[in-house]
């Protein structure tokens, strides 16, 4: 099967410096033959992307390399329940291996490597499942095949898991201080480092939220309150978001024990309703999405300045992935359908 790639370009808007004003983002739309919508979720160093597309027969997991599409088979042969066993890849590594999830009799995490599924990991039965999109959407994949994800349990909250399928186990991050009541993994790097958030109750109806990293098996509280998410690269540089007591939502970069704000290029920061950092690569580049005054934009941080592109209704759902060569994969889910792009940055702001 082949894909058709349609190119366009957008000049960066809302830049934070004159240097970034020359930045251009080239968007190449991905159209798979016969599809009615494409939802890309990850991109590797070679520019290979993975995700789901939909056609008249329903949704399909896929890998796209160049213009060649590999359609992933059902995660279990003979699966007859409608909507079950359809792979949803959400991560890809340099070798082309992908990981994601599907629904079999229970939510199942898979790893596709060398043209086949390795033995899968089924989330333990008996946990009250939340919506699948919520419980496994933060699944991350390291180069050795290790996956990390959170399972949403109605009684226990987020339960973090990590390991190489099928040898995946719950990670008891909160067995020791600083956290006491729960934790959630946001990412795993290629050195088995983890990052995410934890919380503990500080009074009736009140919780303290913080960020953690696990490097070489050592758990560390990054020392910032109100953390909403935390991602980490192979050099243990972290990026995340937090909310302060006055309701201001901010992004930050954390490295070697110190913080620096990652400011969005908007006139009134208090009018930001939402910031979602979605990836950091080993060059320290960061991508994500923010909402400002009824519009959503994609942002790209080059280590010193923030450039933005696109302007979408806040009802649209945006997902952006980033590889080590600063190329991005963007998925836009609107009421009219799903559209996906490969995005490349050109100019001083990259």
- The pLDDT score that the predictor gives to residue 65 is 93
Q: Are 238 and 249 in contact (CB under 8 A)?
A: no
DSSP state, 96? Answer: S
- Pinpoint the alpha helices (H) of 196-268: none
| φ/ψ (deg, to 5) at 270 | -75, -10
How far is residue 86's CA from residue 83's CA, in Å, rounded to a whole number? 7
- The pLDDT score that the predictor gives to residue 216 is 85
**Which residue ranges form the domains of the chain, and what is each CATH number?**
3-74+87-346 (2.130.10.150)
pLDDT tens per residue, the chain (350 residues)?
666 555 555 555 443 333 445 788 999 999 999 999 999 999 999 999 999 999 999 999 999 999 899 999 999 888 877 778 899 999 999 889 999 888 777 778 889 999 999 877 776 654 444 433 334 445 777 777 777 776 655 445 566 777 788 888 777 666 555 555 667 778 888 888 888 888 766 555 556 678 888 888 888 888 888 898 999 999 999 999 998 877 789 999 999 888 899 999 999 999 999 899 999 999 999 999 999 998 999 999 999 999 999 999 999 999 999 999 999 999 999 999 999 999 999 888 88
- The pLDDT score that the predictor gives to residue 331 is 97
How far is residue 87's CA from residue 84's CA, in Å, rounded to a whole number? 9
How far is residue 350's CA from residue 20's CA, in Å, rounded to a whole number? 8
DSSP state, 135? Answer: H
Q: How many CB atoms are located within 10 Å of the residue 144 CB? A: 12
């Amino acid at each position: 099967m082949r894909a058709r790639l349609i190119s366009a370009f957008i000049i960066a808007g809302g830049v934070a410096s004159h240097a970034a004003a020359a930045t251009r983002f080239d968007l190449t739309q991905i159209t798979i033959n016969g599809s009615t919508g494409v939802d890309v979720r990850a991109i590797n160093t070679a520019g290979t992307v993975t995700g789901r597309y939909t056609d008249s027969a329903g949704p399909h997991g896929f890998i796209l390399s160049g213009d060649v599409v590999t359609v992933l088979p059902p995660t279990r042969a003979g699966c007859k329940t409608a909507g079950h066993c359809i792979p949803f890849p959400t991560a890809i590594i340099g070798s082309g291996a992908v990981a994601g999830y599907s629904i079999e009799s229970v939510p199942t995490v898979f790893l596709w490597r060398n043209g086949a599924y390795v033995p899968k990991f089924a989330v333990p039965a008996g946990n009250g499942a939340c919506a699948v999109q919520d419980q496994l959407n933060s699944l991350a994949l390291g180069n050795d095949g290790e996956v990390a994800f959170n399972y949403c349990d109605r009684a226990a909250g987020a339960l973090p898991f990590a390991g190489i399928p099928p040898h995946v186990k719950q990670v008891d991050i909160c067995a020791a201080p600083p956290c006491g009541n729960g934790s959630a993994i946001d990412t795993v790097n290629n050195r088995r480092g983890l990052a995410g958030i934890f919380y503990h109750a500080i009074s009736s109806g009140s919780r303290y939220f913080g960020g953690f990293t696990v490097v070489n098996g050592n758990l560390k509280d990054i020392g910032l309150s109100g953390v909403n998410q935390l991602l980490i690269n192979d050099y243990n540089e972290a990026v995340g978001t937090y909310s302060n007591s006055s309701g201001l939502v901010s992004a930050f970069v954390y490295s070697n024990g110190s913080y620096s704000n990652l400011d969005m290029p908007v006139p009134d920061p208090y009018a930001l309703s939402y910031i979602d950092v979605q990836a950091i690569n080993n060059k320290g580049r960061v991508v994500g999405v923010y909402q400002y005054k009824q519009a959503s934009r994609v942002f790209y941080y080059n280590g010193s300045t923030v450039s933005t592109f696109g302007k979408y209704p806040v009802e649209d759902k945006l997902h952006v992935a980033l590889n080590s060569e600063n190329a991005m994969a963007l998925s836009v889910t609107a009421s009219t359908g799903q559209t996906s792009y490969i995005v490349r940055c050109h100019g001083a702001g990259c």
